[in-house]
Amino acid sequence: MTKGASIYLDATRFLAATTVLVYHFFALELTDSTLRFPFGGEAVMVFFVISGFVIAFVADTREKTWQSYSISRYARLYSVVVPALILTAVVDGIGAQINPAAYDPNAHAQPLLRIGASLLFINEIWNFTIVPLSNGPFWSLSYEFFYYLMFGAAVFAPVRWRFPLTFLVLLVAGPRIALYSSIWLIGVLVYHLRPRVPLQSILMPLLFLASLALFFAFAIFGTPLDALNRAFYEQLDSRGFFYFFGANIFIGGNARFPSDLAVAVAFSGTLLFCESAAALLLRTGWVARTIRFLASHTFSIYLYHVPLLIFFDVLLDGVILSDGQQDGILNGVLLLLLTGGSIVLLARYTENRKGIYVDFFQRLHLLLFADRQRSSPTK
């Protein structure tokens, strides 16, 4: 991967995570503002494409065996998943004592089941939509987990087992996750196409700007495939289920897949032709360093922000701010500052300490497979 592609990935990852945060800041109606920022779904599609691209890169360059691949993937996920679930349980528990009405009772029923399912990444398989308490954004981690498994099976399994194991992973994951795997695989495809792109071509900046303009046009004004969304939604019942040969299959918001696919394709164009634009970010050292620093908090921003926003809103409304200030500008500014500061602090001891988790899974791998490795014949 070139330095240009790397810095562009870091910048877009941070912007996508921040977009999701801003989306929820307004969608949760934590202030009296009537503004809305309806781009959270597009940001998640950006994450999926970037994830596929990065996984293709590490498998091609660094993680050459299933052992190194699986250890890195587990470490990457659990370095934020475990802290995120602990954080959510703690702040939701405290917040509910102050203002129970701020929390959805349905999302807090059977909390141990919800946290357990989320730890195992089965919270979104088939007809499951298990939200771990207030942490709504967690749904996409189940998708990512199965895409990691799918890719690992397709690349590292013995040749004769690659198709059966890949099919089995998607079968366990269910139709929603399997459907969106095509968006994740766009990132894999872009990684393998980039070496064929003439990086120094004078057309690169124009193609990048055209792809970027198309991406924003699709996000703001809609895509040519929006009509397919409506047709898809018409096939669902009022609960979001699709009736298929006697079985009810939950589709829900995934019925907007055609539009999400168009957005992902448009974004993939920026990733394919980003070299010239990314070179501008590399000209000044402090800009590149700042981008790297911000990007190192991406997963933390994504997984910590909703429970923190709700908790600090409850705290400000019920304890700190006086009447008249509780839903105003001051409340909004304090919410963002407290949430942002907490994320930076938490990331320092979670996401940025991935090495601890790598060491743990390496030791676990040795414990589980040491006997097999000792018994295998030497070459």
- pLDDT, residue 4, reads 80
State CA 103 to chain mean position distance: 23
pLDDT of residue 246: 81
Question: Hunting for tokens 């099976």 — which residue is that?
Answer: 153
- The percent of residues above 70 in pLDDT, for the chain, comes to 93
What predicted TM-score, i.e. pTM, was given to this entire model? 0.92
Question: What confidence score (pLDDT) does residue 175 get?
Answer: 94
Mean residue pLDDT of the chain comes to 89
pLDDT of residue 104: 93
Residues 261-283: tens digit of each pLDDT: 999 999 999 999 988 777 777 77
Contact 141, 80 (CB under 8 A): no
Structure confidence by residue, pLDDT tens digits, 153-212: 999 999 999 999 999 999 999 999 999 999 999 999 999 998 888 766 778 889 999 999
* pLDDT value, residue 296: 93
Give per-residue pLDDT as tens, 212-245. Answer: 999 999 999 999 999 999 998 988 988 889 888 8
What residue segments make up the domains of the chain, in order of their start?
A: 3-220+267-375
For residue 116, how far is the Cα from the chain centroid?
Answer: 19
Which residues have a Cβ under 8 Å from the Cβ of 215 and sit 6 or more positions away? 263, 266, 267, 269, 270
CA-wise closest residue to 122 among 106, 105, 138 = 138
Distance CA 216, CA 213 (A): 5
- As given in the structure block, the two tokens for residue 88 are 């959510």
E strand or H helix at 241, and its extent?
strand 241-244
What spatial distance separates the first Cα and last Cα of the chain, rounded to whole Å? 34
Q: Give the bridge partners for 249, in sequence order.
A: 242
- CA distances 129 to 133, 184, 247, Å, are 12, 20, 17
